[in-house]
Amino acid sequence: MHYSRKMGNVEFRYSIMETQPLRKMSIGKPGWAALCLLGVCLAAARPVMAGAPVRDEPIQPLPSRHEQDERKVALGRMLFHDKRLSKDDSLSCAGCHPLAKGGMDGKARSAGVGGAEGTINAPTVYNAGLLLAQFWDGRAQDLEEQINGPIKNPLEMATTWEAIIPKLELDPEYVRRFGELYASRVTAEAARDAIACFERSLITADSPFDRWLRGDETALGAAEKEGYALFKSYGCVACHQGANAGGNMFQRMGAMGDYFADRKTGLTPADQGRFNFTGREEDRYYFKVPSLRLAALTAPYFHDASVDNLPDAIRVMARYQLGREINDAHVEKIAAFLKALPGKHQELSQ
C-alpha cells in the first residue's frame, strides 16, 4: 500500500509493508535477517526535502519546523494542559504526557481520574502527527480521533465533551479565542482541532543524527556512526525507518519467538494488540511499530513496559523480532546511535 503526506515543503512518501503474507512464510533466521534488510526498500518512508541535500538513508530527517497555525497551536496548548478536560478537574493531557520529560510519564501504567490505573504503556506525544495511526493498536486514524479516547476512557479522564464544553464556556479567554479562530462558540470539534494542531507542532527537529544526515560529518561520533551501521546490518531498520524511525507500519510482537510465553506473566487484554480493534485473528499480537526518535528518553519500553532500560530493549527486539542475539559491544554502539535521535523542542528538557 502506497501513501504520501505533505507537511509544508516536505512530502513524505512511504509504502506500508504487508506483514501478514510474511507471517505465513516459512523462513529461517538467516532468511528473516535478509528479509529485514529487504524491508528497508519495501517499507522506507523518505521525505523529499526541498532545497536541502540529504544522505540517501532509510531514516531521513524530521522537518525542521511545523506548518501549523500558531494561534491554534497556542489554544491547543492551553487545552492540553487544562485539567477541566477530566471528570473531576484533576487531570490534563499533560498529566500522562509531560512535555518536559519526553512526552510521557515514565510509568508502566499511567494513573487516571481517582487513581485508576491504565492498561497499557503511554507512548510519547512528540512527533505523533507523523505516525501512520494512533494508539498501539492503531484504532484511531488521526490525532483528532485519538483525542476522544482518553477523554471518554473511565481509566483516564472519564468524562464526555458534553460535560467539558460548559466548563470551558465559563472561561472568557476560551470564548474569545474560539470565536476568533473558529468563528463559533466552544465546541468539541474545534477543541479537538486545536489540540491536534498543538500536537502536530511537537516535532523534535535538529537532532545530531539529522544534522549528520544533512551533511554535518562532525554531528556524530565514531560510536554513533558504527551504531547506525549495526542498526542497519542487523535488520532493525526494516521496521524502524522513515523520518520518524518507525511508526509507519504494524508488526507482530514476537515475529521470531514466542515473546508472550517467555515473558511468563500471563496474557492481558492489551497483549492482543490490533486484534482488539479489528477482531481478525491474523491481527492478534500485532502492534504499531513505535517511533525511536525519543526512545533514549522514554523508558519503560514496549506496550507492556516490560523493559526499563535501553540496552535490554535492544536485546529483546533483536531476539524476538529478528531472531538474533547481539553482543554487548554492539548493543552499546546501537544505544549510542539511538541517543543521537532525540532532537530539540522548546517544551522538551534533555
- What pLDDT does residue 350 have? 67
DSSP 88: T
Q: What is the pTM of this model?
A: 0.86
Residue 3 pLDDT more than 50? no
Q: How many CB atoms neighbour CB 220 within 10 A? A: 20
One fold for 2-63+206-338 and 70-200:
yes
Q: Where are the domains of the chain?
A: 2-63+206-338, 70-200
156 counts as catalytic = yes
- What pLDDT does residue 133 have? 98
Cell numbers at 318, concatenated:
533483536
Q: What is the pLDDT of residues 162-176, one digit of tens each?
A: 999 999 999 999 999
Do 112 and 158 form a contact (C-beta atoms < 8 A)?
A: yes
Overall fold of domain 70-200: Cytochrome Bc1 Complex; Chain D, domain 2 (1.10.760)
Kindly write down the DSSP assignment for every residue of 178-246, as one continuous string.
HHHHHSSS--HHHHHHHHHHHHHT---B--HHHHHHTT-GGGS-HHHHHHHHHHHHHTGGGTS-TTTTS
Question: For the residues 90-99, what does the mean pLDDT come to?
Answer: 98
pLDDT band at 349 (very low <50, low <70, confident <90, very high): confident
Minimum mean pLDDT among 40-49, 58-67, 106-115, 241-250: which range? 40-49
Of 13, 10, 6, the residue nearest 52 (C-alpha): 10
Q: What is the pLDDT of residues 244-280, one digit of tens each?
A: 999 999 999 999 999 999 999 999 999 999 999 999 9
- What pLDDT does residue 159 have? 98
Question: For the residues 45-72, what does the mean pLDDT come to?
Answer: 81
pLDDT band at 24 (very low <50, low <70, confident <90, very high): very low
- What pLDDT does residue 52 have? 55
Residue 16 pLDDT more than 50? no
If one compares 84 and 6, the residue with the highest pLDDT of the two is 84
Phi, psi of 142 (to 5 degrees): -155, 175
What is the average pLDDT score of the chain? 89
Instruction: Round to whole Å and give the CA distance between 208 and 273.
Output: 33
If one compares 35 and 248, the residue with the highest pLDDT of the two is 248
Beta pairing partners, 7: 10
Q: What is the pLDDT of residues 137-165, one digit of tens each?
A: 999 999 999 999 999 999 999 999 999 99
Regarding the domain with residue range 2-63+206-338, which homologous superfamily does it belong to in the CATH classification?
Cytochrome c-like domain (1.10.760.10)
Instruction: Round to whole Å and give the CA distance between 281 and 274.
Output: 9
Q: Is 47 helix (H, G, I), strand (E, B) or coil?
A: strand
Question: For the residues 49-78, what does the mean pLDDT come to?
Answer: 90
Instruction: Round to whole Å and give the CA distance between 164 and 171.
Output: 12
- What pLDDT does residue 316 have? 98
Q: Which of 156, 169, 180, 282 is catalytic?
A: 156
- What pLDDT does residue 164 have? 98
- What pLDDT does residue 14 have? 40
Question: For the residues 114-142, what does the mean pLDDT come to?
Answer: 97
Cell numbers at 185, concatenated:
462558540
